[in-house]
Amino acid sequence: MLRTAVIVDAVRTPSGRGKPGGALSEVHPVDLAAYTLRAVLERNGLESDQIDDVLLGCVSQVGAQTFNIARQAVLAAGFDESVPGTTIDRQCGSSQQAAHFAAQGVIAGQYDIVIAGGVESMSRVPLGVSASVAGSPFSEAMLERYPEGLVNQGVSAELIAQRWGFDRETLDAFAAQSHARAAAAHEAGAFARELLPMAGVEADETVRAGTTAEKLAGLPASFRTDAMAARFPDLDWRITPGNSSPLTDGASAVLIMSAEKANELGLTPRARFHAFSVVGDDPLLMLTGPIPATRRILERSGLSIDDLDAYEVNEAFAPVPLAWTAEVGADPAKLNPWGGAIALGHALGSSGTRLLGTMLAYLEATGGRYGLQAMCEGGGMANATIIERL
């Protein structure tokens, strides 16, 4: 008989600016992850040898984030040497995929207790550095299939903005709203249960409370090059640092176990996993995957978009959640109600379980029942998750 997988706890570090001098830039990524692992044990009265596995997402697995960072974090956290760990790369959805694998293992009876999470130090391991080491990731066969070449995610965001007709003013207004919502949530103490002060940092460094669309309007486009302008002559080039998620350092973790094990240990489940989906999509547009992933998970779950009380759709760039909202008929008021990655940061490998913890806390604060999380992912993929608050 299939078991029920539940979430017992969710924690995260603050979001630090992912550049030299950022609040968490001096912390090794292994130690960022280890900090969340220790917190999960301490907060729930567990011994490390009770953990069946640790699954961590990390995108740029090079340098300080190589050699299976999950196992390194397990050891750095002081866990018993018998506890294994593995590192997952599904691009920006890496830790959401880690949570899927963990929950699916519990449901199948292969795990009793798992920690799923993720980490990324973008100040120490810059975005794109993996592709500059030991050759191009694109083989001859890949280039034969896409002879014009794929594009970076910023250009993909430009293509989405153009296709769905989002002008610069709309994108900047959405970004300003993200900062306003995140700042209000911080002020209200909404993140208190999940947020772990670290290295003297008690709040997300990436949130800018005074952000307005008018201020963002002065920022230049980030991704226009002569080559891209020649290839896509109709683009208006409206994606800027202001309506994109910032480079970020951070880690997050979620404690997942069977409902039976939680009852045995006297722990209170906060939510159960209700449904999962993962899809591939157009690798040129790349960031539209949350749309088919949402359609698939709604079909599988038997729920409608109106049955959901909150949606966390990662704000890699402002056009991504805006296009998703338009296509699935979602209520904008339920979308990233405490702000999204434009304000709260996008520490790539960590973002999936960061969003999951935030969505859970929001459902608890508002009495909501169902929440949907969706992440766009490099290469044209997406994960979607529905949880039910208990």
Residue of 92, 100, 179, 274 marked active site: 92
Helix, strand, coil % over all residues of the chain, rounded to 5: 40, 20, 40
Give one word for 380, left, alpha or beta, with left for phi > 0 and alpha for psi -120 to 50.
left
Say which of 100, 179, 186, 346 is annotated catalytic: 346
CB within 8 A of 30, min separation 6: which ones?
A: 64, 69, 72, 73, 76, 119
Say whether 376 is catalytic: yes
DSSP label at residue 335: B
The catalytic residue among 58, 100, 186, 376 is 376
d(CA 5, CA 85): 19
For residue 346, indicate whether it is catalytic: yes
What tokens does 127 get?
């975005």
C-alpha 163/C-alpha 327 separation (Å) is 12
The single-letter DSSP state of residue 125 is S
For CA atoms 171, 175, 180, 185, give the dihedral sign: positive
Q: Cα–Cα distance between 185 and 204 in angstroms, integer?
A: 11
Q: Which two tokens stand for residue 143?
A: 């280039």
d(CA 319, CA 325): 10
Provide the annotated active-site residues: 92, 346, 376
